[in-house]
Amino acid sequence: MQTLIDLAPLAAFLLAYRLAGIYSATAVLMAAMLVLLLFQWLRQRRLPPLLLVSTLLVLVLGGATLLLRDTRFLKWKPTIFLWLVSVGAAASVWVGDTPLAQRLLQPLIGGGHLLPRATWLKLNWVWVLFYALLGGLNLLVARLMSERTWVDFKVFGLTAAFLVFALAQTAWLAGRLESPSPSAP
């Protein structure tokens, strides 16, 4: 259910784009991201950091797109976000106790399963590479393809890439989970 809620701004963006064009879709995306942020705050009393960064980028770059009537700003948003995550994942290896991949995925796995630090580090470096390459791919599509192709890539291509990446991570991690040994009575 959470995934559908998270995808709502993207669906609203696509619908607005198809009905009224890129500038209307940009305004709709900006409003939808604010609604999602408010929804998350009311539901959890906290703002997920990645959602907050994404929303701020949408507001700043979407605002520039609307003010300057230049779609390049909006098209750069996915790349900037993906590269920030890539840099954040790389930096997390040296800053703090746990790599970014572990910080974000460990709560989903639960405390009942253990993974060695080396496993988390491998996955974290895969994140660095994945997010960097996907950001570069977005730039290529934005520069070389039509606006409609970029919108379809943003909505369907990036979503599919994240889905495949999530499934691959899940399968890879599932094969490496160790249950903690029960404590002796």
| 110-169 pLDDT per residue, tens | 765 678 889 999 999 999 999 999 999 999 999 999 999 999 999 999 999 999 999 999
Burial class from Cβ neighbours inside 10 Å (0-12, 13-18, 19+) for residue 43 reads exposed
d(CA 149, CA 162): 18
Using 50, 70 and 90 to split pLDDT, how confident is the model at 29? very high
Region 65-87: what's the mean pLDDT?
Answer: 98
Q: Which residue has the higher pLDDT, 1 or 18?
A: 18
The full set of domain ranges for the chain reads: 1-69, 71-177
Q: Give me the percent of the chain exceeding a pLDDT of 90.
A: 79
Using 50, 70 and 90 to split pLDDT, how confident is the model at 180? low
Per-residue model confidence (pLDDT) at position 75? 98
